[in-house]
Structure 1
C-alpha cells in the first residue's frame, strides 16, 4: 500500500466512525418521531379521528414525537386546529 492509499483508508474509517456516532446520538429522536407518527396514524385509522394531515402536522409530530401527536390529537378533538 502506498501512503495515499493508507491516508484514504484512515479518512474513510474516521468518516464511518463519525457517522456511527451521529446515528447513535440521533436515534432516540428518530424513534420518538416514528412512534409519534404511528400514534397519529392509529388514531386516524382505528379510532376514526378526523385530522387534516398537513406539513405542519407532520413537522409537529416528527419534532415532538408522542407528546406532539397527543397535542395534535387534543387540538383536533377540541376543534381548535387540524379539523377537516
Structure 2
C-alpha cells in the first residue's frame, strides 16, 4: 500500500528533476558560447602567439558573447588595454 510520505517524496523528486532540467536548458547556450570562445582564444594563442590571460571576467565575456566576445578579448589583449599577462 502506498503511503502519503511516499507520494510526497515522489512529488518532491519530480519537482527536483523538472527544476534541474529547466536550469540545464537555460545554461546550455552559455556553455556552448564559452566553449566556442575559449577554443577561439586557444587558437589565437597557439597560432598567432597572442598572450591572453584567462580570468573569470574573460570567461564571463566569452560565455555571454561567444566568438565575438573572444575577438573583443583578443583585441583588448593585443592593444594592451586589458587581459595582458
Give the shorter-chain TM-score range: 0.7 to 0.9
CA distance in 1, matches of 2:56, 2:31: 17
Displacement of 1:50: 1.9
| RMSD across aligned positions (CA) | 1.8
Question: Deviation string for 1:24-43 (max 9, x for gaps)?
Answer: 12211211111111111111
**Is 1:64 paired with 2:65?**
yes
Q: TM-score, normalised on structure 1?
A: 0.80
Q: Is the Cα–Cα contact under 8 Å of residues 34 and 59 in structure 2 kept in the other structure? A: no
Task: Give the direction of change, closer, same or farther, for the CA distance of 1:59–1:21 in structure 2 (3 Å limit).
Answer: closer
Question: Gaps spanning 5+ residues in structure 1: where?
Answer: none
